[in-house]
């Protein structure tokens, strides 16, 4: 499972996401060429996005097929966390693999 957090530059957790992504059931089937940001997530590693990357990730999540794969609740949660990163200063979106 992959958890999502917003962190500061120093690593302090600002927000915990409530969604947990099951990589095998959802992200494994994402086309990496079409959705490079979602496609870069790994089940057993951490991935960090800066504000510019979070904006691009949010655009990928707007795609209907991605929303269906992630589930609407997870898509909404990730969009909310992306917007938090985009609107803040020195904030990063972290996906934490098991």
Residue 93 pLDDT: 97
9-45: per-residue pLDDT in tens? 999 999 999 888 887 788 888 889 999 999 999 888 9
Find the CATH number of the domain harbouring 82: 3.40.1760
What is the CB-side half-sphere exposure of residue 16 using CA atoms within 13 A?
Answer: 2
Which band of pLDDT confidence, cut at 50, 70 and 90, is reported for residue 64?
very high
Domain that holds residue 21: 2-96
CA–CA separation, 67 and 48 (whole Å):
21
What pLDDT is recorded for position 98? 82
So what's the pLDDT on residue 22?
Answer: 82
Average pLDDT of the residues in 1-12: 94
Q: How many domains does the chain have?
A: 1
């Amino acid at each position: 499972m992959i958890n999502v957090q917003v962190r500061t530059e120093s690593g302090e957790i600002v927000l915990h996401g409530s969604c947990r992504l099951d990589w095998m059931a959802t992200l494994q089937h994402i086309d990496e060429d079409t959705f490079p940001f979602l496609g870069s997530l790994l089940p057993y590693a951490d991935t960090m996005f800066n504000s510019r990357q979070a904006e691009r990730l949010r655009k990928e999540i707007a795609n209907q097929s991605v929303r269906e794969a992630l589930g609407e609740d997870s898509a909404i949660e990730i969009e909310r966390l992306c917007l938090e990163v985009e609107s803040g200063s020195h904030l990063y979106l972290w996906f934490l693999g098991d």
